[in-house]
Structure 1
Amino acid sequence: MSVTIRYLTHPQVHVDPATDVRRWSLNPVGAARVAALVARPGALCRTRRVISSDEVKALETARPLADALGASLEIRPLMHENDRSATGFLPPAVFEEVADAFFAAPQHSVRGWETALAAQARIVAEVDVCLAGPQGGDVLLVGHGAVGTLLYCALSGVGIDRAYDQGAGGGGCWFGFDLTDRKPHQRWQPMETLMRDV
């Protein structure tokens, strides 16, 4: 039986400039989207492992899903979002400019951020560690938009490019791949598509 690995980004968050981004929580919209998927997990029904970044917003996505699926929850700190602690919170327009530069010049640190190449190497290595050995069912990885895009690029064999990002909308998107060939099945999809039975 084939094993499907899915990478899911956390949905919408409460933006609080006074709080470390890594400690941001889901906002009511994001929490409602997670609750809807918990109520109808559809395509996730064969998931036996849920593996999450240790950031609050990722855990608030992963924990209720793991509980609903009766799956183990594993917390992996190295699955965190690209390190942006050098700048802390940036106003949305400025953040988008810096994020564009982050993807456009993967080998360079933009305003002290972790480079895209370093973040990509980290997330790929961590996923490889998580998926080493046989799996007892499907696996759900819960993380973040930038490193998720870097993972998608690596698995797809394409260069780092923001064109492969999940796009606007606040997150809550996923892509899947087989454990064996590690090639994405499709581009990013809204998490609501997982509610469909397979």
Structure 2
Amino acid sequence: MTNVVRYLTHPQVNIDPSIPVPCWGLSEVGKARTEAVTTRGRLSGTTQVISSGERKAIETAEIIAAKLGVDIEVREAMHENDRSATGFLVPDEFEAVANQFFGQPHISIRGWERAVDAQLRIVDEVEQVLARNEPGDVLFVGHGGVGTLLYCHYSGLEIDRAHDQPAGGGCFFAFSSDGRRVLHAWRRLEEL
């Protein structure tokens, strides 16, 4: 049986340099964008909601799962690429380091997890869930960096930031559970 698998990135967050990035929560804009999705009914076939263990992903997943009446499964290894070596970086510096992360996937940039390792990790997490072969569509809720690595994997593309989600987060792509065929590239949350 073929089901739709969606990978959704959390939308806007409250940025606070005094708090570790994995502990950031959704902003009011991020919450409102997520809540708006739940009114459309386009996720009605979703029977599994799988979330990264980071707060912003869990908050996104909770809003959607509550409307669907399903439980959330938290998988800690679905976290964003490990950037703890640098912690918070101001936006311009972050973008420059992120470009290097995607541009040199076999090298640890400033102590960050290598892109090839983050890709293996996120693909393994997704494949473990899909191997259960449960009925219904699956929604994974996570992050832009590892989401892009996952998209590259299932699309058969080399790791490249050219395949990153549009700015602002809150985007998703979809693929089939049978054959892992990408159904569409990144779309805004509002298209769900």
Fold-level match, TM-score > 0.5? Answer: yes
- C-alpha displacement of 1:89: 0.2
Query: Corresponding residue for 1:67?
Result: 66
CA–CA distance in structure 2, aligned partners of residues 133 and 13 of structure 1 = 32
SS of the counterpart of 1:185? strand
CA–CA distance in structure 1, aligned partners of residues 88 and 49 of structure 2 = 29
- C-alpha displacement of 1:2: 2.6
Query: Corresponding residue for 1:188?
Result: 186
- C-alpha displacement of 1:62: 0.1
Unaligned 5+ residue runs, structure 2? none
CA–CA distance in structure 2, aligned partners of residues 133 and 60 of structure 1 = 25
- C-alpha displacement of 1:72: 2.4
Query: Corresponding residue for 1:143?
Result: 142
Residue correspondences, number? 192
Runs of 4+ in 1 over 3 A off after TM superposition: none
CA–CA distance in structure 1, aligned partners of residues 22 and 33 of structure 2 = 20
Confirm or deny that 1:21 pairs with 2:26. Answer: no
Q: What does 1:71-82 correspond to in 2, within 5 Å?
A: 71-82=70-81
Contact preservation (8 Å) 1:12, 1:26:
yes
CA–CA distance in structure 2, aligned partners of residues 25 and 160 of structure 1 = 28
Contact preservation (8 Å) 1:3, 1:135:
no
CA–CA distance in structure 2, aligned partners of residues 163 and 112 of structure 1 = 23
SS of the counterpart of 2:53? coil
- C-alpha displacement of 1:136: 1.5
Query: Corresponding residue for 2:12?
Result: 12
The alignment's TM-score, normalised by the length of structure 2, stands at 0.98
Give a deviation string over 1:104-146, Cα, whole Å, max 9, x none: 0000000000000000000001111011132220000000000
CA–CA distance in structure 1, aligned partners of residues 34 and 162 of structure 2 = 26
User: What is the identity, as a one-letter code, of the residue corresponding to 2:17?
Assistant: P
Q: What does 1:1-198 correspond to in 2, within 5 Å?
A: 1-40=1-40, 42-168=41-167, 170-194=168-192
